[in-house]
Amino acid sequence: MSFTGPSLSSGGRTARRAFEFGRTYVVRPKGKHQATVVWLHGLGDNGSSWSQLLETLPLPNIKWICPTAPTQPISVFGGFPSTAWFDVGDLSEDAPDDLEGLDASAAHVANLLSTEPDDIKLGVGGFSMGAATALYSATCFTLGKYGNNNSYPAKLSAVVGLSGWLPCSKTLPQKIGEVNEAATRAASLPILLCHGKVDDVVQYKFGEKSSASLRSSEFIDVTFKSYNGLGHYTIPDEMDEVCAWLTSKLGLEGSSS
């Protein structure tokens, strides 16, 4: 699946970036299928590694879809290509957001969810850059549209972000206020954020600020969990939290079903 979007070329004309997404890995539910969650990997990774971890979780009612990001030049790597959901130049509050890349990846997620049955609850989660894309998808659902104003089709019931950040956080409160029903959708969407206090890649303060930004943008069901001694990776305690939270928020029957 590929998506293209407009971007400015050096000559000032509108060029189009092509986004060729990689292989998608699917973990089938071991019990009654009640929810489908798209899980997004971090920079330089692929869907395979996370699918192997997610398959071990005691969540028999969830179908996991683990896509692989496009390989594209990454500014923070000096233009060296890597798998990435969008381009990133610097993990600072003032770094520009790659809206074109974010929109393409959020659209890919929505497309992956589009064929799920109507009675299945839908979610999106991710790690690091994947978490940022998941949170961006949450804002698209809330606003009812992508950054390019195209309609956002998926109805999300849960969003999880591990060791990530919220793109476009500075403009979100204003955008929520400008769209009818956006505040209602924001209030209805549960979000779990988890972050290690010694994360040396995506600093802990970005997780804290993302949580605060969501809460100030009408997202009232935001859970923020911090982990002492945790760097930029995941640990069993964190995944246990994810399992318990998803089981609760999605109303899953659990392993006893």
Of 37, 107, 103, 23, nearest in space to 71 by CA: 23
**Catalytic one among 45, 87, 98, 199?**
199
HSE-up (13 A, CA, CB side) for residue 39: 26
Distance CA 141, CA 186 (A): 8
Active site residue 199: yes
**Catalytic one among 33, 221, 226, 232?**
232
* Token digits of residue 176: 């929520």
- Asked if residues 51 and 25 have their Cβ atoms less than 8 Å apart, the reply is yes
**Catalytic one among 128, 137, 157, 217?**
128
Active site residue 195: no
Distance CA 139, CA 166 (A): 9
Q: What DSSP assignment string belongs to 100-140? A: HHHHHHHHHHHHHHTTS-TTSEEEEEEETHHHHHHHHHHHH
Active site residue 75: no
The sign one gets for the Cα dihedral 181, 187, 190, 191 is: positive
Q: Which residues are the active-site residues?
A: 128, 199, 232
